[in-house]
Amino acid sequence: GHGSGKPAKGLRFTPVEPNTADAVTVPEGYGQNIVIRWGEPILRGAPDFDPARQSARAQAGQFGYNNDFLSLLPLHSERHRQLLVANHEYTNEELMFAGYDPEAPTREQVEIAWAAHGMSVVVVREEQRTGALRAVPRHRLNRRITATTEFELTGPAAGSAPLRTSADPDGRRVRGTLANCAGGTTPWGTVLSGEENYNQYFANAQQVTDARAAAALKRYGFTDGASERRWERFDARFDLGKEPNEANRFGWVVEIDPYDPESTPRKHTALGRFKHEAAQPRLTRDGRAVVYMGDDERFDYFYKFVSSKRMRRGTGAEVRRHNLSLLDEGTLYVARLSGNSPAEEIDGEGTLPEDGEFDGTGRWIPLASGDRSFVDGMSAEEVYVFTRLAADKAGATKMDRPEDVEPSPRTGRVYVALTNNTDRGKDGKAGPDEANPRNANKHGQVLEFAERGDDPAGRRFDWRLFLVCGDPEDPGTYFGGFPKDQVSPISCPDNVAFDDYGNLWISTDGNELGSHDGLFGVATAGPQRGRVRQFLTVPRGAETCGPVVQERRVLVAVQHPGEVDGASVEKPASSWPDGPGRYVRPAVVAAWPEDGGRIGR
Ligand code: FEO
Ligand code: CA
Ligand code: CA
Ligand code: CA
């Protein structure tokens, strides 16, 4: 019966035990290699990494810091090579610069940090005897996008008043992308990336006195006084007192064309502005693009965008131009979820309601479409730029930090990581509901939903919780109905990906079970549904990001290794990956079966 038998195809490995090793630990019989690490030169002319003599110019040609989302795209013109795109979410100055003084960063340190943010495009080659991947430096497609690269604002709010600044009176050109968290790979061969915690880069919210503008800044988490990195001392656009609209030019989904290193990357206003964790595209049957998006904040919302135009097939320049405009026009929706069990059965502790499941139905509430607003008292432009305020008015469901999202290529069902929400049920905050059923939720949950009629453009969906994470021995956890004595403990799901078998892979950030973060695989259908198995763990202080699961390899981004309170270059908390006495370095890791076979076969 249910709960016995072999693990699902693709997940047949010996699970890694929870641990606190300062290493990437993979299953027995698996090998691993570092694909690329912070500071490795990727552009022509960039020097080798030398942390004691780092410069902004060097960093601008080297792989950036804190790799998060990963995308691997095909490179058909070159045998055994693929195109890797990685985001660089933020910088840990105390681990990058010896003797760093957070009160008084130097101009060079700040400019290095600007160059270490953004994204990297780097060609990688597949080693033939193993599943290893290795970076190909100086390839013509390699590219760095940083905090100062020019972006174009596109879509219905481009050029609107809240996007205009003294440097850009037209409101259409922005320098840089910041806080790039998860993302998505489009069916038309581009990469999307969400600008998430960009509020941290801006100073002096208290100097904005216009009541509406001040309220919007507050809703988006901007704070008074100096910013953490003091960038405002070196570029006035980070000072809200001097340039109040610059902050409105961040918080978008950006799209880059990794096949054209000369292309100007874009920020898509039609997809709304919030703390974008991810942007996961799929197509409707008639070829329109649908993008699912989480706003990663406690009690914030889950969104989708549906394009009005259809993707075209083919490779010509005209087709490419058309597809690159798909995200300029469409409808932006936010999710409202209703449970089907009586509210009094949701006890805040994760006890299953009498019908045996946390489940219900949902509606997609339209916020704006092109120039038309569906929100009282807000213009369409205001809906796009201040999307959180629009969704507040629309009565969207307050979720437990929506992170990454992924539709199953096998079933069409969609999986949303809700990482945690320790404020749920606190005084003055929202209490539990059937989709967010636990108070003081430390471990998070994974929600599964099916669009009605399997139509991703539709207005209704059915949902249930697939996993209620934590220690399987905790009665308030749930693993898709699978016997809990046979699963790996999992906490704080963040990034999600599917393999070709239809297994969901989940990476974690912030494990609250006393062991390090890691990567897990789980079947979503069939008799093995819910049997979570741990595939790897990451070093001290790191989160696991960006999983990509291919037939012969698993790729993860090891983000912020050694990020532990009080740690510094002089007092490191981790010696990964290069060993004691070396700088700790965020890096991309590939893992593969040493016998050259398939993952989890
Ligand atoms: Fe950058 Fe929501 O994790
Ligand atoms: Ca129910
Ligand atoms: Ca994340
Ligand atoms: Ca996270």
pLDDT in tens, 473-516: 999 999 999 999 999 999 999 999 999 999 999 999 999 999 99
Ligand 1 binding pocket includes 40 (Cβ within 6 Å): no
**58-75 pLDDT, tens digit each:** 999 999 999 999 999 999
Beta carbon of 403 within 6 Å of any ligand 1 atom: yes
- Please give the number of the atom of ligand 1 that sits closest to the Cα of 196: 1
Cβ of 328 closer than 6 Å to ligand 1, yes or no, is no
**What ligand is nearest to the CA atom of residue 70?**
3
Q: Are strands 288-294 and 302-310 parallel, antiparallel or unpaired?
A: antiparallel
CB contact at 8 A, 335 and 364: yes
CA of 111 to the centre of ligand 2 (A): 52
Q: pLDDT of 508-544, one tens digit each?
A: 999 999 999 999 999 999 999 999 999 999 999 999 9
Q: What pLDDT, on a 0 to 100 scale, did the predictor assign at position 315?
A: 85
Nearest bound ligand to CA 66?
1
**pLDDT > 60? residue 3:** no
C-beta of 277 in contact with ligand 1 (< 6 A): yes
Pocket flag, ligand 1, residue 517 (CB < 6 Å): no
- Ligand 1 atom, smallest distance to 403 CA: 2
**Pocket lining: 297 vs ligand 1, CB cutoff 6 Å:** no
> What ipTM was assigned to the predicted interfaces of this complex?
0.94
- What ligand is nearest to the CA atom of residue 90? 1
**What ligand has the least distance to the C-alpha of 69?**
3
Q: Which ligand 1 atom lies nearest to the CA of residue 401?
A: 2
Give me ligand 3 centre to Cα 445, in Å: 14
pLDDT value of residue 447: 99
* Residue 235, both tokens: 């570029």
Cα–Cα distances (Å) from 99 to 96, 112, 577, 580, in that order, read 10, 15, 21, 18
Q: What angle do CA 550, 551, 555 make, to 5 degrees?
A: 30
Tokens 């798909």, located at residue: 326
Question: Is the CB of 382 inside a 6 Å radius of any atom of ligand 1?
Answer: no
Mean pLDDT of 422-434: 98
Distance between CA atoms of residues 328 and 158, nearest Å: 10
Closest approach atom of ligand 1 to CA 419 = 2
Question: How many separate helices (H) and strands (E) can be counted in the chain?
Answer: 7, 32
Confidence of residue 185 (pLDDT cuts 50, 70, 90): very high
In ligand 1, which atom is closest to the CA atom of 296? 2
**Is residue 129 over pLDDT 80?**
yes
The whole-number average pLDDT for the span 137-144 is: 98
- How much is the mean pLDDT over the chain? 97
Smallest-distance ligand from the CA of 354: 2
Distance CA 496, CA 408 (A): 10
Provide the b/e sequence for 197-211 (b: ≥16 CB within 10 Å): bbbbbbbbbeebeee
Q: Is the pLDDT of residue 2 over 60?
A: no
The atom of ligand 1 lying closest to the CA of 181 is 1
Q: Tell me the pLDDT tens digit for each residue of 314-335.
A: 989 999 999 999 999 999 999 9
Q: Looking at residues 435-452, what average pLDDT do you find?
A: 98
- Please work out whether the CB of residue 196 comes within 6 Å of at least one atom of ligand 1: yes
With a cut of 70, say whether residue 115 has pLDDT above it: yes
As a whole number of angstroms, the distance between CA 482 and CA 477 comes to 11
Closest Cα to atom 1 of ligand 1: 181
Q: Which atom of ligand 1 is nearest to the CA of 197?
A: 1
Share of the chain above pLDDT 70, in %: 99
What's the whole-number mean pLDDT along residues 136-163? Answer: 98
Residues near 442 by beta carbon (within 8 Å), at least 6 away in sequence: 420, 422, 470, 491, 492, 512
CA 41 to ligand 4 center in whole angstroms:
27
63 Cα to the center of ligand 4, angstroms: 21
Confidence of residue 50 (pLDDT cuts 50, 70, 90): very high
pLDDT band for position 355 (50/70/90)? very high
- How close is the Cα of 277 to the center of ligand 1, in Å? 6
Closest Cα partner for 65 from 151, 184, 174, 146? 146
* Gap from CA of 268 to ligand 1 centroid (Å): 19
Cα of 252 vs centre of ligand 1, distance in Å, is 14
Q: Give the model confidence (pLDDT) of 575-592 as tens digits.
A: 999 999 999 999 999 999
pLDDT over threshold 70, residue 4: no
Q: How confident is the model at residue 1 (pLDDT cuts 50, 70, 90)?
A: very low
**How far, in Å, from the CA of 278 to the mean position of ligand 3?**
8
Distance 31 CA to ligand 1 centre (A): 28
pLDDT at 357: 97
pLDDT band of residue 154 (cuts 50, 70, 90) is very high
Distance (angstroms) between ligand 4 centre and the Cα of 209 equals 32
Atom of ligand 1 nearest to the CA of 277: 2
Q: If you measure from the C-alpha of residue 302 to the centroid of ligand 2, how many angstroms do you get, rounded to a whole number? A: 20
- Whether the CB of 296 sits within 6 Å of ligand 1: yes
| Cα dist from 469 to 3, 446, 466, 513, 530, whole Å | 18, 8, 9, 10, 11
Instruction: Tell the burial category of 574 from Cβ atoms under 10 Å away from its Cβ (0-12, 13-18, 19+).
Output: buried
Domain ranges of the chain: 30-196+251-593
Q: Which ligand 1 atom sits nearest the alpha carbon of residue 275?
A: 2
Give 99 Cα–ligand 2 centroid separation in angstroms.
Answer: 55
What residues contact residue 16 under an 8 Å CB cut-off, 6+ apart? Answer: 25, 26, 27, 518, 534, 535, 536, 537
* Ligand 1 pocket, residue 300 CB under 6 Å: no
How far is it, in rounded angstroms, from Cα 122 to Cα 385?
32
